[in-house]
Amino acid sequence: MMYPLEIRELQRRMGYTFHDESLLRTALTHSSFANEHFGGREGCNERLEFLGDSVLSLTVCNYLYHAYTDLPEGRLTVLRKNLVCQRALADYATQIGLGEFLLLGKGEAKDGREKPKLLEDAFEALLGALYLDAQNLDTVALFLLPFVRKEIAKMERELQPLEDYKTLLQQYVQQTPGEELHYETVSEVGPDNAKTFTVRVLINSNCFGMGQGSSKKEAEQNAAREALKLYLPK
């Protein structure tokens, strides 16, 4: 089977040599290729993607739990979401040129090597294959965590102790493409030197929280805090 690039080069970029190279080959096989050449989805990377999703989550959660002992659950949840979202995973895949190695059907091959969703799925499948071949999460962590640490370096504000609820909410909402977030002043009550502002936060025209404060900024922060209660787990 001919690959766009020799898969030994991918192993070199990963810093890992597979004992069972068929696992890697399966991780690189998109369903469109399997449908065209194998007569069905059997042999594609979807099952490895399923496994890799859990491997990814556990590896990242374990790292964050031990590396950021002062962060509360809510902050850890937002941070994890940013590290395993489609944008981040597609970026990890791009850093090793994963798209260049994929087996794609004729339609996908035209522009699929740069599609974020396709790259996300392939990277998860790669993690699943790596876990099965190595039979331990430590090897997965050696490969994955350098990407995670680079991504965290871009998110230094998230690690600050100040409770910037607007920033946290914005980061959370951005994980869903097409979501629009904005704040709307509902009322201003009282004299000019002692006003109370009421603000609501809207996501796609739906109200997710209300907040009050002596300034619009304070009211917006309080509204964002209320909205986060709906996003973050109890």
- So what's the pLDDT on residue 162? 39
Q: Which residue is listed with tokens 């805090």?
A: 225
Give residue-wise pLDDT tens across range 92-104: 999 999 999 998 8
Instruction: Choose the CATH number for 7-158 among 1.10.1520.10, 2.70.98.20, 3.30.460.40, 1.10.10.10.
Output: 1.10.1520.10
Q: What is the pTM of this model?
A: 0.67
- So what's the pLDDT on residue 234? 43
- So what's the pLDDT on residue 15? 95
> Got the DSSP string for 90-110?
HHHHHHTTGGGG-B--HHHHT
Identify the H or E element spanning 61: helix 46-67
Residue ranges in the chain whose pLDDT is less than 50:
158, 160-162, 233-234
- So what's the pLDDT on residue 33? 84
- So what's the pLDDT on residue 2? 52
- So what's the pLDDT on residue 5? 67
What letter would DSSP give residue 190?
Answer: S
Q: By 3-state DSSP, what share of the chain in percent is helix, strand and coil, each rounded to 5? A: 60, 10, 25
E strand spans, the chain:
181-189, 196-203, 206-213
Sheet holding 196-203, edge to edge: 181-189, 196-203, 206-213
What fold does the segment set 165-231 form as a domain?
Double Stranded RNA Binding Domain (3.30.160)
Pick from 114, 121, 91: nearest CA to 30: 121
Asked whether 89 and 99 are in contact (CB, 8 A), the reply is: no
Locate the domains of the chain by residue range: 7-158, 165-231
Catalytic residue among 121, 124, 133, 220: 124
Is position 53 annotated as part of the catalytic site?
yes
Identify the H or E element spanning 141: helix 137-153
